[in-house]
Amino acid sequence: MNPDISAEVLVCGAGISGFAAACSAARSGAKVILAESLGTVGGAAYSNLVNPFMVPRIEGRDLVKGIFSEVISRLKDRNACAEGSLFDQPHIVFDPEALQSIMMEMLEESQVKLLLHSTVTASIMKDRDIKGAVVSGKSGDIRIFSSCAVDATGDGDLAFLSGCGFDKGRPSDGLCQPATLMFRIAGIDMSKVPSREEMNALYSKARSSGRIRTPRENFLWFETLRPDEIHVNSTRIPKIDGTSVHDLTKAEAEGRKQAADLHSFLKGSVPGFESSYISRVAGSVGIRESRRIKGKYTLTVEDVMEGRSFDDPVAKCNYPVDIHSPDGTSTVFKKLGPGISYEIPYRCLVPEDAGSLIISGRAISSTHEALSSLRIMPVCMAIGQAAGAAAALCVKKHVSPASLDFGLLRKALNEQEAGLR
């Protein structure tokens, strides 16, 4: 039996959002434990190979600052990122290996205790108050007691284990946005590669003839930091429940088949790809949507499109409503109007039916449509920074997340240069 351990703040999940939450809480003076089921930090940005960062920006002004800006600054110092744009949406291409190294450094500098290979399997509760969690790994179960916990698992695992209410998928049938397995192709002669329009014409022809498995309606790729390599975001596995091991197993197998088919098509039909090869495949399939934990407020698509402000903002965003059809065959892409951005209120991070718990990342309280905008990595990092700062304040002030004075959180986030008003 492993001995119990304790922390003032327990963060579950070391992806983009959990990393930011742990750093933020520790820098605010809290003793922090960060538990992660995988053997790495970085989550979607590393294990799922999601790239690039889609940057919320208006007229050259970044809407997400704080820890995200610090990460970008460190990447720039290593020549490990580059600015770009596609479909009039600014982005930052980055080296995932450099990113993971930077995240590990920042966690160590912040004196966060990291537990890898530690999957959250149970919640420790007293009445409706969360007192910690049980994590399981090769050494057995470990009970971690905490004064406040942050669920940054992406799927709301700790909240689910604690009995919190949640929504999943679109209201009509519960289907979530499809999964995608990211991969990269290198060895390309970019001087011979045709335009995106020409490539998509060839893609459509191959798809119509049945040569390509993916149901995605077009071929989407991004540049990487290597001149002979592209990053492919074109596999699409619909009707997947990201909280089902059976569906995830199906998605992993199907994603790899689609990646092989896509590369075979490019190598045989598109100029410049004749000597190409698959240089990297994501360690696991990427999930866009699963549980959305019901909170004190639910962000709606009207909030997004109308650019609404709130009295308790923790993050800003202007990324479009970007819904990959749960049926797998189309994409809804609705841009916000010029100069319009919206705010995400702190209340979306506070579950409506559990104390001492804060939700971070894409599992916050939102609708299916609103999630499709806020799920981008910079915004999830901003949400994580706010969640960590809030958790540290709850410990310091001996209050629940629902009772926290938002004025104190606003002050803390401004001191962390999060860029809020």
Q: What is the CATH number of the domain that holds 159?
A: 3.50.50.60
Report pLDDT digits (tens) over 363-382: 999 999 999 999 999 999 99
Please give the C-alpha separations between residue 269 and each of 146, 193, 203, 273, 420, in angstroms, as whole numbers.
57, 11, 9, 8, 49
One domain for residues 18 and 167? yes
The pLDDT value recorded for residue 328 is 87
| pTM of model > 0.95 | yes
One domain for residues 13 and 62? yes
H/E stretch holding 283: none
Q: Which residue has the tokens 């804060």?
A: 358
84 DSSP β-pair partners? 91
One domain for residues 203 and 270? yes
Last residue of a domain, one of 254, 281, 308: 281
Q: Judge whether residue 1 has pLDDT over 90.
A: no
Q: Average the pLDDT over 225-237 and give the result.
A: 98
Report pLDDT digits (tens) over 123-165: 999 988 999 999 999 999 999 999 999 999 999 999 999 999 9
One domain for residues 189 and 143? no
Q: Judge whether residue 268 has pLDDT over 80.
A: yes
The pLDDT value recorded for residue 87 is 87
One domain for residues 18 and 138? yes
166 DSSP β-pair partners? 293
One domain for residues 12 and 136? yes
One domain for residues 97 and 216? no
Query: Is residue 148 a part of any domain in this protein?
Result: yes
The pLDDT value recorded for residue 216 is 94
**Residue 420's pLDDT band (cuts 50, 70, 90):** confident
3-state secondary structure of 69: helix
Closest CA to 392 of 124, 163, 112, 115: 112
Beta strands (DSSP E) in 272-409 are 277-281, 291-293, 313-317, 321-324, 331-334, 342-345, 357-359
Report pLDDT digits (tens) over 31-86: 999 999 999 999 999 999 999 999 999 999 999 999 999 999 999 999 999 999 99
Tell me whether strands 183-186 and 277-281 are parallel, antiparallel or unpaired.
Answer: antiparallel
Q: Average the pLDDT over 241-245 and give the result.
A: 98
Last residue of a domain, one of 218, 247, 281: 281
One domain for residues 14 and 110? yes
One domain for residues 199 and 161? no
Query: Is residue 420 a part of any domain in this protein?
Result: no
Query: Is residue 178 a part of any domain in this protein?
Result: no
One domain for residues 119 and 236? no
Number of domains the chain is built from: 2
Q: Judge whether residue 421 has pLDDT over 80.
A: no
Q: For the chain, what is the mean pLDDT? A: 97
Per-residue buried b or exposed e for 325-363, using 16+ beta carbons within 10 Å of the residue's own CB: bbebeebeeeebeeeebbbbbbbbbbbeebbbbbbbbbb
Q: Judge whether residue 192 has pLDDT over 90.
A: yes
Q: Average the pLDDT over 338-355 and give the result.
A: 96
One domain for residues 313 and 399? yes
Last residue of a domain, one of 214, 247, 281: 281
> Is residue 184 packed enough to be buried (19+ CB in 10 Å), middle (13-18) or exposed (0-12)?
buried
Q: Judge whether residue 120 has pLDDT over 80.
A: yes
Q: Give the whole-angstrom CA distance, residue 141 versus residue 122.
A: 10
- The residue range of the domain holding 240 is 183-281
One domain for residues 113 and 238? no
Closest CA to 173 of 239, 236, 217, 237: 239
Query: Is residue 373 a part of any domain in this protein?
Result: yes
